[in-house]
Amino acid sequence: MKLLFIENRYKTYFFDLLAAELEKLGHEIYWIVQNPKFLPTVGNIHIIKYPSKSIKVDTKTNLDSIINSDRQLNFFKKKDTNYFHYYYHEIKSLVEQIEPNFVFGESTAFHELLAIKISKEKDILYLHPSSCRYPSERFSFYLYDTVHPYVGSEEFLSQKEALTIIENIINRDSKPDYMKKVSFKKSKILKDKIKVLKGYLTGEKYNTPNPIVKYKIEQQKKKNIAAWDAKALFEIDKKHFSIVYPLHLQPEANIDVWGRPRRDQLDTIKKIANNLLGNQILYIKPNPKSKYELSKELLHSIENTHNAQMLHHQVSMDDIFNDVNLFITVNGTIALECIFANKPILTLVEVFFNKAKNCLFMKEFNLLQDYILNIQNNNFPILSDIEKVDFLNLLSTTSYKGVISDPYYSSYSVSKDNISDVVKAFNQILNSKV
């Protein structure tokens, strides 16, 4: 089979190890590389040249959904959008030339999203392997730019295994792979910054922010965090009905791509607050690693909304989980934790988690009071232990053993054992289409 991989900085080195093993099994390996500072070593490598200012591009193709969720435009003050069309035509030409059976990559950077669009147009399967969150050390192959898994290992957990995992999740003793703390040596961070800067200076200005712009934004971020914590609360008022909205990090695919209809978190918070009654309080919980979602506009809006409150960065989910009456998320891992703990949870986009009957998709904000009334009347759906086991097994059977990461964040991801596990999963996927 012809397998096409899409370069994604350090993740390329992880995919490269997989590709080497898949090539040994007789598959043809191809690459589309946007940033030549991160080159693979295996297969047929196609590097897209950076667009010149004199190049004329056809801009007729509608790329609005990709442009509207692009981090460079939304967070790093980039204005020009012509390069989207240039890369669209370059990637399309390469895909038509290669005619791959599968395309593998992330669904984060603009060139990956363009590859996804083209794959859809050509009826080619684009899969992005990513952590399924729970059970830990497992991943799914997600379809295109969604979090809907494709096929699966069909590996069932015994009831005893499943209940132990569920108990650990409920007691908050278990965390998804991507949440585990990673420490970096200063030398490693510096080496990365030099590598990225060299790329920027040699033309990679499309996924790499202007370093001066990014420095200023980082300085403002620190001020915003300090301003937030200066006015934030440390606990939930148990005398009122409490709703917690955990802020998603931005930029991040989890909300900017998979949660596109609700990627504007300021708008979401305003709409939730506008649909609350006087005895109900919306608490906004920041991510411990807050990024650019914590804007001056967000701070100002919450300060001027009487029924919205900020929680301090030192407040952990463990501190407040049991005291909260309702959680609302776009597409966060908190949804899974609420499912197993039978804590009322609403998602703002339709996600795979909604297959659990106690994880509800709220289509319109004006329905919020109906859900709150159900909670107050003890009519919100709950899962039995058997149903919890069934749902965990749904996650297990649609996932595979292995950790998806890159050597920058996880040395284990590129270990011999992990690569062996992930290659087995790739083989199952490839054989499923034969």
Amino acid at 43: G
56 band by pLDDT with thresholds 50, 70 and 90: confident
* C-alpha–C-alpha distance, residues 29 and 303, integer Å: 54
278 band by pLDDT with thresholds 50, 70 and 90: confident
User: Taking the domain 211-392, which CATH number applies?
Assistant: 3.40.50.2000
Between 172 and 101, the higher pLDDT residue: 101
Sheet containing 28-33: order of strands? 44-47, 28-33, 2-6, 102-104, 125-131, 138-143, 400-401
pLDDT (0 to 100) of residue 190: 82
* C-alpha–C-alpha distance, residues 424 and 434, integer Å: 16
In this prediction, residues 408-420 reach a mean pLDDT of: 93
Q: Which helix (H) or strand (E) holds 198?
A: helix 186-201
71 band by pLDDT with thresholds 50, 70 and 90: very high
Does 17 score more than 90 pLDDT? yes
Contact yes or no for 127/140 (Cβ under 8 A): no
For the ranges 104-108, 173-177, 288-292, which has the lowest average pLDDT?
A: 173-177
Task: Find where tokens 């909670």 sit.
Answer: 375
Does 434 score more than 60 pLDDT? no
pLDDT (0 to 100) of residue 317: 94
Strands (E), 268-382: 280-285, 308-310, 326-329, 345-347, 359-361
* C-alpha–C-alpha distance, residues 408 and 159, integer Å: 36
Please check whether the two domains, 2-178+399-432 and 211-392, share a CATH topology. Answer: yes
pLDDT (0 to 100) of residue 178: 62
In this prediction, residues 397-423 reach a mean pLDDT of: 94
Task: Report pLDDT digits (tens) over 220-268.
Answer: 999 999 999 999 999 999 999 999 999 999 999 989 999 989 999 999 9
Averaged confidence pLDDT in the chain: 93
Q: What share of the chain is helix, strand, coil (3-state, %, to 5)?
A: 45, 15, 40
Number of C-beta neighbours around residue 42 at 10 A: 18
pLDDT (0 to 100) of residue 174: 75
CA angle 317, 323, 329 (to 5 degrees): 55
180 band by pLDDT with thresholds 50, 70 and 90: low
Architecture label for domain 2-178+399-432: 3-Layer(aba) Sandwich (3.40)
Does 179 score more than 80 pLDDT? no
In this prediction, residues 208-216 reach a mean pLDDT of: 94
pLDDT (0 to 100) of residue 188: 79
* C-alpha–C-alpha distance, residues 233 and 314, integer Å: 10
* Residue burial 332-363, b: 16+ Cβ < 10 Å; e: rest: bbbbbbbbbbbbbbbbbbebbbbebebbbebe
Show me where the domains of the chain are located: 2-178+399-432, 211-392
Tokens (6 digits) for 91: 């990637």
Q: Which helix (H) or strand (E) holds 196?
A: helix 186-201
Does 202 score more than 60 pLDDT? yes
What is the percent of the chain where pLDDT is above 90? 86
Between 58 and 292, the higher pLDDT residue: 292
For 71, 106, 370, 403, the CA distances from 409, given in Å and listed in that order, are: 21, 16, 43, 11
